DNA sequence: GGGCCAAATGATAGCGCAATCATTTACTCT
DNA sequence: AGAGTAAATGATTGCGCTATCATTTGGCCC
């Protein structure tokens, strides 16, 4: 009804284009992949043929012949966790500009699922991989090593990276938060954790280490759950923590901002004043945190930059450019806001 | 250092596996793709060879030979907008279970970029496509039609869908919100819009239609910007709206919850009481909305379900199952909360 | 003007797999 | 027991492209 020619539903191939343009197939291939190797005249001629036929190259044939997939495989533990939005934005941004496609999988925070997903990814022959954290199964790590491609493990600092590593120390961040609270005169510092993935564990270990260093017994101040984090869960956990501690805590460190916001909103309902009666600190510094009342103290993490850096590193590796350092500490920053007071 | 055999970095192919297993290549292929067509004995034998060699099939060769990519192309306008998290979760969930990979692109709310991205996607020979909305360029629509694969346009109801369509009427939702506010006795109803993508436009048109129907002049009550939405922007827009209207509005409909939360937080800072002095309504019903104080009236949208339904539909089409209806209205629900009062 | 080099273009082969059809084997039924 | 059938396995071929090498063309120099 619309286009005049090839309403026949046969796929248009390189050869068809070549025939129309009156050149050989390889010349068409060059027009697409290395345009400057073809004379202006032919290039225009071929381009016209491509346009008129609506030719779209078959990437499978191309990849099979060249063993270049132009794909970067990315594995993240959760699509719902907003934290990964920014990371992904950075990854897509850099990858797109450099002409790479991104194949994304969600591992649901499960190393076993991750292994399965990595298999899937590898069968797409990605030229590089960006994965989250360091808790892959042994088999998964072997698969990755054997793939012999640039790999970045991101989000946290790993002891023995498979290849490259971009992140920051969640342990240190947890330790720092507690140190600030201690400095501000708090002693009965609570901890709320959900999901308890390796990074949350590290934050908690940092909390515990700082408490231990200050000689404070944290045993009754900690509440955790393997459930996925949410504001609703923050409300719940806050209630149960207040019940179990009989309101004895003077401050609370939440493993992320969702929980902290939940705690904040619930404290308002419970008529517990923040920060007068309770200092509150989150983690990740999502946008809402600086706008709620009182604004929420949180640990700011350069997530977008982490995505950008990770992708830049694999692309540098792919293009043979030198990598300054295989492990990059992207840092973080504790942002003190109105939800924490100085208790001294 | 690790694995014993094939430390040589040659790729392991079907033929290698076949040789080790003592069968023909095609049998190995069958073990992978149609296991029940192979006897138990051989299947185990071949599986052992696969495992010992760490064989991973080359999807390019497979796709080229079978012209099946097992890929679903997905185009969304933004990776940062949380709204798409839930949609994507639904898509990945269903696609993954059915053995499809998802190739995701971000069109940055630009039809031109979308066209470019669709070209990229199509060169991956996706078996189906899920795209956002109906404002593709003419060229893009032609490309899609020519691809001759199942397509779902999601997020909104389209007049002339390219193929299938899953969404709801943003116009009607905007109209409904305003109707509820009118019913509650409000008359000076403001509107705040950001980004102004087609769906936001529809919500605004719904707002205007309802105002017109009530005989209320909305000209001075509307503030919009093409900037991307955020809580911070909500604060800003709210300030400028209050300045330009001299606080004359008695209620405010925001095109999404980010803006509404910004307005809410800013109103607290400006000592404007919500809902006593101003009723507030958002859109999308993100998690924070039901937990802020006062809780935020919003339009709840089944985003996850939209992703699920869209993916189910393309998969049904791919597997030749009947499609009940090509256009599915997934609905929405105005959830009245404490940020809106009854003013009668 | 012959020889030489670089740029432009082409011919051929093969990437790794699955579709197709052919062959073998095992088993049932009369 | 022989014919017939289904299940299991194999040989061949080609998917559409690019790597590789070969060939042609057009200058440029001495």
**Residue B4 in this model has a pLDDT that exceeds 50:** no
- Nearest nucleotide (CA of A59 to C1'): D17
pLDDT tens string B169-204: 999 999 999 999 999 999 999 999 999 999 999 999
Mean pLDDT, residues B323-337 taken together: 97
Predicted confidence band of residue B3 (pLDDT cuts 50, 70, 90): very low
Q: Which residues of A touch B64 (CB under 8 A)?
A: 58, 60-61, 64
Does residue B86 sit at the A interface (CB-CB below 8 Å)? yes
Alpha-carbon torsion, ordered A79, A81, A85, A86, to 10 deg: -150
Chain D footprint bases within 7 A of protein beta carbons: 7-12, 14-20
The pLDDT of residue B237: 97
With cut-offs at 50, 70 and 90, classify the pLDDT of residue B149.
very high
Inter-chain residue contact B79 with A101, CB threshold 8 Å: no
Residues 123-152 of chain A whose Cβ lies under 8 A from any Cβ of chain B:
123-125, 142-143, 145-146, 148
- Report CA(A45)–C1'(C7) in Å, whole number: 19
Q: In this predicted structure, what is the pLDDT of residue A9?
A: 53
* Each residue's pLDDT tens digit, B120-130: 898 888 999 99
pLDDT at residue number B6: 35
Res. B213: pLDDT tops 50: yes
CA angle A265/B340/A286 to nearest 5° reads 35
Tell me, what's the pLDDT at A339?
97
Among chain A residues 140-199, those with CB within 7 Å of any atom of strand C: none
B40-77 CB burial, b ≥16 within 10 A, e <16:
eebbebbbebbebbbbbbbbbbbbbeeeebbbbbbbbb
Residue B9 confidence class, pLDDT cut points 50, 70, 90: low
For residues B290-307, give the mean pLDDT.
97
Residue of B nearest to A286 (CA): B231
Out of A58, A125, A292, whose CB is closest to B59?
A: A125
The answer to whether the beta carbon of residue B35 comes closer than 7 angstroms to any atom of strand C is no
Q: How far apart are CA B332 and CA B285, in angstroms?
A: 10
pLDDT digits (tens, 9 = 90+) for A41-55: 889 999 999 999 989
Nearest nucleotide to A63 (CA to C1') is D17
Are A101 and B89 an interchain contact pair (Cβ–Cβ within 8 Å)?
no
Sign of torsion over alpha carbons A32, A36, A40, A42: negative
CA-derived radius of gyration, chain A? 26
> Closest-CA residue in chain A for B229?
A287
Instruction: Provide, as residue numbers in chain A, all residues whose Cβ is less than 8 Å from the Cβ of B148.
Output: 9
pLDDT band of B296, cuts 50, 70, 90:
very high
In tens, the pLDDT along A132-159 reads 999 999 999 998 998 889 999 999 999 9
Per-residue pLDDT at B250: 96
Q: pLDDT tens across B13-43, in order?
A: 999 999 999 999 999 999 999 888 888 888 9
Could you give all domains of chain B from N- to C-terminal order, each with its CATH number? 14-57 (1.10.260.40), 69-168+303-331 (3.40.50.2300), 170-301 (3.40.50.2300)
The answer to whether some atom of strand D lies closer than 7 Å to the beta carbon of A57 is: yes
pLDDT band at B8 (very low <50, low <70, confident <90, very high): very low
**Is the C-beta atom of B38 closer than 7 angstroms to strand D?**
yes
B148 CB burial (10 A radius; 0-12, 13-18, 19+): exposed
Q: How far apart are CA A204 and CA A144, in angstroms?
A: 29
Q: Give the pLDDT mean for A112-126.
A: 91
Give the tens place of pLDDT for each residue, A283-316. Answer: 999 999 999 999 999 999 999 999 999 999 999 9
Average pLDDT, chain B: 93
pLDDT at B124: 87
Beta carbon of A145 within 7 Å of strand D?
Answer: no
User: Taking CB atoms and an 8 Å cut-off, how many pairs form between chains A and B?
Assistant: 126
Please tell me if residue B220 touches chain A, with a CB cutoff of 8 Å: no
Given this model, what pLDDT does residue B7 score? 39
Residue of A nearest to B232 (CA): A291
Say if CB A281 and CB A256 are below 8 A apart: no
Positions on chain C within 7 A of a protein C-beta: 7-12, 14-20
CA of A344 to C1' of D27 (A): 86
Mean pLDDT of chain A: 93
Residue of B343 and A218 predicted with greater confidence? A218
* Chain A residues whose beta carbon lies within 8 Å of the beta carbon of residue B288: 231, 261, 288
Interface-testing mutation among B79, B93, B117, with chain A (most A C-beta atoms within 10 A) = B79
pLDDT at A10: 66
Residues 6+ apart with CB under 8 A from A204: A174, A191, A193, A196, A222, A224, A255
Beta strands A298-300 and A333-335: pairing type?
antiparallel
The pLDDT-based confidence of A3 (bands split at 50, 70, 90) is very low
Say how far B36 CA is from D12 C1', in Å.
24
Query: Mean of the pLDDT values across residues B65-86?
Result: 94
User: Of A73-77, A330-334, B64-68, B224-228, which range is least confident?
Assistant: B64-68
What does the pLDDT average to over A189-197?
Answer: 97
Are residues A254 and A289 in contact, defined by beta-carbon separation less than 8 angstroms? no
User: Measured between alpha carbons, how far is B253 from B174 in angstroms, rounded to an integer?
Assistant: 9
Interhelix angle A231-245/A257-269, nearest 10 degrees: 60
How many angstroms is C1' of C11 away from CA of A35? 21
Give the model confidence (pLDDT) of A236-286 as tens digits. 999 999 999 888 999 999 999 999 999 999 999 999 999 999 999 999 999
For B328-342, what is the mean pLDDT?
Answer: 97
> pLDDT-derived band of residue B10, with 50, 70 and 90 as boundaries?
low
| pLDDT at residue A167 is higher than 90 | yes
Residue B1 has a pLDDT of 30
Quote the CA–CA distance of B75 and A323 in Å, as a whole number: 33
Percentage of chain A modeled with pLDDT above 70: 97
Q: What is the pLDDT of residue B123?
A: 83
Instruction: Mark which residues 43-62 of A lie under 8 Å from B by CB.
Output: 54, 56-61
């Amino acid at each position: 009804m619309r286009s005049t020619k090839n309403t026949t539903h046969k796929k248009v191939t390189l050869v068809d284009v070549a025939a129309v343009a009156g050149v050989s197939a390889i010349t068409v291939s060059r027009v697409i992949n290395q345009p400057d190797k073809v004379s202006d005249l032919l290039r225009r001629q071929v381009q016209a043929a491509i346009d008129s036929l609506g030719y779209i190259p078959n990437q499978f044939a191309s990849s099979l012949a060249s063993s270049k997939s132009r794909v970067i495989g990315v594995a993240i533990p959760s699509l719902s966790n907003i934290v990964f939005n920014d990371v992904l934005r950075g990854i897509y941004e850099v990858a797109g500009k450099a002409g790479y496609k991104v194949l994304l999988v969600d591992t649901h925070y499960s190393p076993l699922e991750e292994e399965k997903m990595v298999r899937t990814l590898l069968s797409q022959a990605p030229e590089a991989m960006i994965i989250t954290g360091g808790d892959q199964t042994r088999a998964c790590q072997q698969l990755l090593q054997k793939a012999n491609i640039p790999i970045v493990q991101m989000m946290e600092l790993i002891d023995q990276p498979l290849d490259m590593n971009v992140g920051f120390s969640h342990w240190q961040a947890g330790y720092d938060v507690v140190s600030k609270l201690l400095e501000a005169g708090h002693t009965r510092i609570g901890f709320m954790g959900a999901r308890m993935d390796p990074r949350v564990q590290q934050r908690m270990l940092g909390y515990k280490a700082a408490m231990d260093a200050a000689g404070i017994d944290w045993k009754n101040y900690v509440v955790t759950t393997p459930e996925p984090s949410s504001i609703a869960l923050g409300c719940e956990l806050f209630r149960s923590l207040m019940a179990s501690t009989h309101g004895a805590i003077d401050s609370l460190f939440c493993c992320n901002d969702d929980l902290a916001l939940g705690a904040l909103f619930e404290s308002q309902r419970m008529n517990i004043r923040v920060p007068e009666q309770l200092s509150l600190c989150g983690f990740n510094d999502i946008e809402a945190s600086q706008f709620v009342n009182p604004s929420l103290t949180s640990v700011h993490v350069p997530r977008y930059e982490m995505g950008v850096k990770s992708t830049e590193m694999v692309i540098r590796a792919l293009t043979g450019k030198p990598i300054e350092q295989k492990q990059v500490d992207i840092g973080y920053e504790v942002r003190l806001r109105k939800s924490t007071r100085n208790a001294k």
